[in-house]
A and B are shown apart, each in its own frame.
Chain A
Amino acid sequence: MSGRSAYQDSGFVRSIKKFLLSAFVVFTFVAYWLHERQAKPATPAAGTSLPVAGIVPTTADPASAVTPTDSPAAVDPAAGAVPTDTLPAPTATQPPAQAGLYKNGTYSGPEVNAYYGLVQVQVVIQDGKIANVAFLDYPHDRRTSQYINSQAMPWLTQEAIQAQSANVDIISGATLTSEAFIQSMQAALQSARN
């Protein structure tokens, strides 16, 4: 009889253990999820480079610095893979822009969740045009973000081109059919005649 009782006890204890273990696992998942959700990137400095798509040039690079433009959409080359909704919306602290014009100053957009993390953009307006775009915040410290960043172009490699004049048999390059040119020129010559 005692043996049976011991068996029952141990079965009961095992159930409790199972329950506690399950609860612990579930709790850990929830805690981790909350932690991941609330974790904020560690305050990167303004103007830091943006490795979002791998191919995207840094905003600090003068060659790729955003040229003055009238349209926020034209910021795209520097913004790269960042969704366009991360472009700064005028905030309440800023004077409202007049129709079709920007006021000079430095504007910070809100932090926007770009699915793989938060993105915050700062825009500098000079002479009524966008003079620079800096990223105050971008996804970089979370494993998922880094994974996506590094996966954007998983197998591609980059290099700076180097001019050379090596001896080759053939050259591949873009050509345009010159027929349109010839035809146009012929027509022009035709009309040039009296």
Chain B
Amino acid sequence: MKQTRLLMGMPVTVEVVDPWATEKTLESVYDYLGYVDRKFSTYKPESEISQINRDELPLAEASDDMKAILTLAEQTRQETDGYFEIVHNGKCDPSGIVKGWAIQNAAERLRQAGFANYYVDAGGDIQVSGRNAQGEAWRVGIRHPFRPDQIVKVLSLQDCGIATSGTYVRGQHIYDPKNPDRPITDIVSLTVIGPNVYEADRFATPAFAMGAAGIQFIEELEGLEGYMIDRNGRATFTSGFERYVLHA
């Protein structure tokens, strides 16, 4: 059972291999992601985050999920020496942490419903569990930064998360919070593999913002591996990355 829908402004694909999965199973995943989108989208004027940004809702009265996200964002900001920042131009935009958190929670709902073999992919950030339809570990490609129809690596993943930050899809979309005017041009793509997609995603963005030093930052984090590609098509990867690589 597999489906793709456009949600949160990106294609979201859910595949559940376990044979007892039904349309309803996938529906519940999309329902949850829709709930997250309605609450956290800064593009929706009626969302809770928009109300907070308009000072219509005091933080003390915010929902538990909102408080959780703001707490996690602050924790990540401290863990990344300020490279993860959700406040831009006086407006709070926690989407950098909401995405991984939402995918992780959606996948967790599938697990709690008794499913073991599935993945949730929201715009290239993925939580995988168990095995694919062929009974093998999930085969995950890393997109080629300059040829979007091709990949540069095939990874074999089970029960973990993967997230990629980059500049290549629509030009620049990550900036260095410490030097907002400095374009991040030396690095085009940074893929992070972690124990789950929340951990992978929340570190991929700030590590990317660090430029070439980002891969060293990932190396030093316990449980995370990374694959960084620079503008010359040169890749740098962490010491434990190779064990995920599927060699043909």
A172 with B215: CB separation less than 8 A: no
A164 with B154: CB separation less than 8 A: yes
In the complex, A182→B152 CA distance in Å?
30
The interface-forming segment of B21-29, B50-58, B78-86, B157-165 is B157-165
Q: Closest CB of chain B to A178's CB: distance in Å?
A: 5
Looking across the interface, which residue of chain A has its beta carbon closest to that of B173?
Answer: A176
Over the window 6-26 of chain B, the binary record of Cβ atoms lying under 8 Å from chain A Cβ atoms (1 yes, 0 no) is: 001111010100000000000
Given A161-B144, A163-B144, A181-B170 in contact, is the A156-B215 Cβ separation under 8 Å? yes
A178 with B13: CB separation less than 8 A: no
B169 with A173: CB separation less than 8 A: yes
CB-contact partner of B239 in A156, A160, A173, under 8 A: A156
B-chain residues with CB within 8 Å of residue A180 when the two chains form the complex: 9, 43
A178 with B141: CB separation less than 8 A: no
| A170 part of interface (Cβ distance < 8 Å) | yes
A-chain residues with CB within 8 Å of residue B215 when the two chains form the complex: 156
Over the window 67-85 of chain A, the binary record of Cβ atoms lying under 8 Å from chain B Cβ atoms (1 yes, 0 no) is: 0000000000100000000
In the complex, A45→B184 CA distance in Å?
33
A174 with B124: CB separation less than 8 A: yes
| B140 part of interface (Cβ distance < 8 Å) | yes
A57 with B232: CB separation less than 8 A: yes
Over the window 214-243 of chain B, the binary record of Cβ atoms lying under 8 Å from chain A Cβ atoms (1 yes, 0 no) is: 011001000000000100111111110010
CB proximity to A under 8 Å, residues B143-180: 143-145, 147-152, 154, 162-170, 173
Given A163-B152, A174-B169, A177-B10 in contact, is the A55-B236 Cβ separation under 8 Å? yes
B173 with A170: CB separation less than 8 A: no
CB proximity to B under 8 Å, residues A153-171: 153, 155-171
B-chain residues with CB within 8 Å of residue A164 when the two chains form the complex: 150-152, 154
A-chain residues with CB within 8 Å of residue B235 when the two chains form the complex: 158-161
Q: Closest CB of chain A to B59's CB: distance in Å?
A: 24
A171 with B143: CB separation less than 8 A: yes
A155 with B219: CB separation less than 8 A: yes
A-chain residues with CB within 8 Å of residue B186 when the two chains form the complex: 77
A172 with B132: CB separation less than 8 A: no
Given A160-B233, A179-B9 in contact, is the A172-B191 Cβ separation under 8 Å? yes
A173 with B124: CB separation less than 8 A: yes
B166 with A173: CB separation less than 8 A: yes
A177 with B151: CB separation less than 8 A: no
A174 with B232: CB separation less than 8 A: no
A156 with B148: CB separation less than 8 A: no
Looking across the interface, which residue of chain A has its beta carbon closest to that of B167?
Answer: A174
| B139 part of interface (Cβ distance < 8 Å) | yes
B219 with A169: CB separation less than 8 A: no
B141 with A170: CB separation less than 8 A: yes
In the complex, A176→B122 CA distance in Å?
11
| A92 part of interface (Cβ distance < 8 Å) | no
Over the window 172-194 of chain A, the binary record of Cβ atoms lying under 8 Å from chain B Cβ atoms (1 yes, 0 no) is: 11111111111100000000000
**Interface residues of B, Cβ cutoff 8 Å to A:** 8-11, 13, 15, 41, 43, 95, 119, 121, 123-126, 128, 132, 138-145, 147-152, 154, 162-170, 173, 186, 189, 191, 212, 215-216, 219, 229, 232-239, 242, 248
**Interface residues of A, Cβ cutoff 8 Å to B:** 55, 57, 63-64, 77, 153, 155-183
Q: A63-B232, A168-B151 are in contact. List 10 more A-B contacts (CB 8 A).
A: A55-B212, A156-B236, A156-B237, A170-B128, A170-B139, A172-B126, A173-B143, A174-B165, A174-B189, A180-B9
Q: List 14 A-B contacts (CB under 8 A).
A: A57-B232, A64-B232, A156-B236, A161-B235, A164-B152, A168-B151, A169-B138, A169-B139, A171-B143, A172-B126, A172-B163, A174-B165, A177-B123, A179-B8
